[in-house]
Amino acid sequence: MGNDGGSIPTRRELVKEAAKALNTTQVKEVQNEQQEYAWSNDPLTRKPLARPVVSDSAGVLYNKDSIIEYLLADEAQKSDADKVLQGRVKSLKDVVEVKFEVDAAGQSALVESNGSTGRTEKWVCPITGKELGPGAKAVYLVPCGHAFAGSVVKEVSGQICLQCNEPYAENDVIPILPTFPEDIARLSLRVKTLKEKGLTHALKKAPGSKKRKKHAEKEANGETTEPAAKDENLMANTNGSTDSPAPLTSNGIKNSATASLTRKVLEEQEARNKRRKLEQNENVKSLFSSRNATPSAGNSADYMTRGFSIGKK
Check whether 176 has a pLDDT greater than 90: yes
Residue 15: HSE in the Cβ half-sphere, 13 Å Cα cutoff: 6
| Enclosing H/E stretch for 29 | helix 24-40
Amino acid identity of residue 48, one-letter, is: P
pLDDT, tens digit, 9 for 90 and up, residues 37-49: 999 999 999 999 9
Residue 63's pLDDT is what? 96
Residue 229's pLDDT is what? 45
Matching CATH number, 24-179, of 1.10.155, 1.10.3470, 3.30.40, 3.30.70: 3.30.40
**Spatial distance between the Cα atoms of 203 and 113, rounded to a whole number of angstroms:** 37
For the chain, give every domain's residue range: 24-179, 226-277
pLDDT, tens digit, 9 for 90 and up, residues 206-226: 887 665 555 556 665 665 544
**Spatial distance between the Cα atoms of 218 and 210, rounded to a whole number of angstroms:** 12
**Spatial distance between the Cα atoms of 243 and 265, rounded to a whole number of angstroms:** 19
The widest CA-to-CA distance across the chain, in whole angstroms, is 146
**Spatial distance between the Cα atoms of 224 and 228, rounded to a whole number of angstroms:** 9
For the segment 256-274, the average pLDDT, to the nearest whole number, is 83
Q: Please, are residues 139 and 150 in contact by the beta-carbon 8 Å criterion?
A: yes
| Enclosing H/E stretch for 141 | strand 138-141
Q: Which residues on adjacent β-strands are paired with residue 148?
A: 139
> Phi/psi at 139 (nearest 5 deg)?
-135, 165
Amino acid identity of residue 137, one-letter, is: K
pLDDT, tens digit, 9 for 90 and up, residues 277-293: 777 666 666 665 555 55
- Quick one: 72 exposed, middle or buried, by C-beta within 10 A (0-12, 13-18, 19+)? exposed
Q: Please, are residues 156 and 132 in contact by the beta-carbon 8 Å criterion?
A: no
